[in-house]
Amino acid sequence: MALMLMTLLLPGSAQLVAGNRKVGIIALRIWFVVVTTFVGTVVVAFFWHGLAFRLAFDTAALFWLRLALMALATGWAVLFFDAWRLGQPLTLTMGHRRAAVGVNGVLALSVAAALLFGAHLAGAQRDLILTMSGNGDVTGAHDGRYNVLLMGGDSGAGRWGLRPDSMTVASIDAETGRTVLISLPRNMQNFPFVRGSVMHEQFPDGFDADYLNGVSTWAGDNTELFPHSDNPGVDATIMAIEGITGLKINYWAMVNLQGFRDLVDAVGGVTLNVRQEIPVGLPQDPFYSHIEPGVQKLDGFETLWFARARYDSDDYSRMARQKCVMNAMLQQISPQSAVRNFASIAKASSAMVSTNIPASQFGHFAELALKARGQRVSSLSLVPPMIDTAHPDIKLIKAKVATAIDRAEGTAPPPGKQKSHRDDPVTGGSIGSLSTGYAANEAGDLDTAC
C-alpha cells in the first residue's frame, strides 16, 4: 500500500526505493519536468493571459500535448502495476491480496483515465480549430479596432452561399476588447459599394437589383466576376458593408442557426429578459407556442426563436432581440462553463460557424472576448426611424457609425438629451416601437436596454 501511495504522489519513487533504481530516476526526472513545466505555464499564464490562449489554439502544441498525455497515462499505469509487484502480493493473505489488487486497479485506472480524458480534450480542441479555421490572410487592426462581419442564416454544411438572414459588424477595440455591435437591416436598398471594388464597377449608382441580403445571391449568380474568390457571396456582401458603414472589414463569420441552437444547449441555456410573449413557430406549425414574459433561462430551441421570430412583430424588433442574445451570451458564458461543457461546445461550434479567420488569430480574439466580458457593449442599428432603408442617407450612416465607435472609446462627447422610451410599447427584448425605435438598436449599454 505504501509503494502504491508513493507512486501516486511521486511516480518512480517506489522503484527508487524497492525496485529498479534506473527506472525510478528516469520516472522522477520526467515527473519533475512535467510538474515544473505545468506550474511555470500556469504562473506565466496568470499574469499573461495571451500565453494561455495562444497555447490553447496552437494546433502543433495541442498535437504534442495529446501525445504527451497519452504517454504519461500509459507510463504511470505501468508504474502502478510495478509497485504492486514490488509489494510481493503472493506473500499476502488472500483477503489482503484482493484488497491490494483493488486499490492498485482503482488508482491506476483513475490516474490513466484522467490523463486520457485530458488527451481527448486536447484532440477535440485541435479538431475544432482545424474544422473552424479559415484560409484568410492575417490583417492588422484598422484605426485600433478589428471589424468582424457576423452573418446568420439557415445554412448548413456545404450551403454557406445562402443569403444571410442577419448582418452585424462587431467592431472590437484591439487593446481593451470594448465592442460596438453595428447591425444592418436585410431589406436595405439603393446603397453604394466601396469604391474600387468589382461590385462598385457593376453598380456605380448603388445596388438596385435587390435588398442587401440579396447581394450574396447576385454574386453567386455572377461568379465570373470573382475569379479568385472562394466565397463570392460573402466577398460581395463585405463590399456592400464597407461602402455603407465606411468601416474596413478584417474578417467574417457565417453562423448557422441550427448550430447556434446546439451551442446554447451546450452551455446550459441563456438567461434573458422576455418583455412580451414571443411566438415559437407559426400558427400552422404543430409546435406553435409562446415564450412567456419574464426573466427566465431559455434553452437552445427557445433562444433561437426569441432571436429570429418575426410573426406578430417586425424585422427591427427582431434585430433588437438578436442584440440582447449576443450580449447575454458574451456576459454569461464563462471560461469555467466552457471547460465544463467543452466537448458539447466543440461539437456545436464546428457545425455552427464558417469563417475566414485563420487559426493563428483564434487565441487573440479569445483574449479580447475575455476582456470584453463585464464591459458595456454598445449597439447601433441602421434602421427606421433614424434611417430610411429604401433610400439610406450614407453620410448620416457613416457619421452615426463613427460617433458610436468614438463614444465607446471615450473620445466623443456624451449624447444630448434623448427621447425616453419609458412609456413606449415593448418588444420581446427591448422597450420601444417601430415608430420611435427600439432601445436595444441604439444603446450605449445593452444590459440596460435589454
Q: What is the pLDDT of residues 386-426, one digit of tens each?
A: 999 999 999 999 999 999 999 888 776 666 555 555 556 67
The one-letter code for the residue type at 397 is: I
Give the whole-angstrom CA distance, residue 22 versus residue 109.
25
pLDDT of 125 above 70: yes
Name the grid cell of 171: 467592431
Between 350 and 192, residue with greater pLDDT = 192
Strands (E), 278-362: 278-280, 289-291, 294-298, 353-355
Q: What is the mean pLDDT of the chain?
A: 86
- Percent pLDDT > 90 in the chain is 42
Of 28-37, 85-94, 158-167, 430-439, the poorest mean pLDDT is in: 158-167
Between 126 and 162, residue with greater pLDDT = 126
State how far the alpha carbon of 375 is from the alpha carbons of 96, 183, 332, 368, 381, in Å.
60, 19, 12, 11, 20
Q: Are 440 and 449 in contact (CB under 8 A)?
A: yes
Q: Which residues pair with 432 in a beta bridge?
A: 438
CA neighbor of 325 nearest in space, from 164, 187, 183: 183
State how far the alpha carbon of 353 is from the alpha carbons of 79, 238, 273, 308, in Å.
44, 17, 26, 17
- Is the pTM higher than 0.85? The answer reads no
Q: What is the DSSP letter of 296?
A: E
pLDDT of 234 above 80: yes
State the average pLDDT over residues 221-248: 94
pLDDT of 237 above 80: yes
Name the grid cell of 27: 520516472
State how far the alpha carbon of 279 is from the alpha carbons of 354, 424, 441, in Å.
29, 21, 21
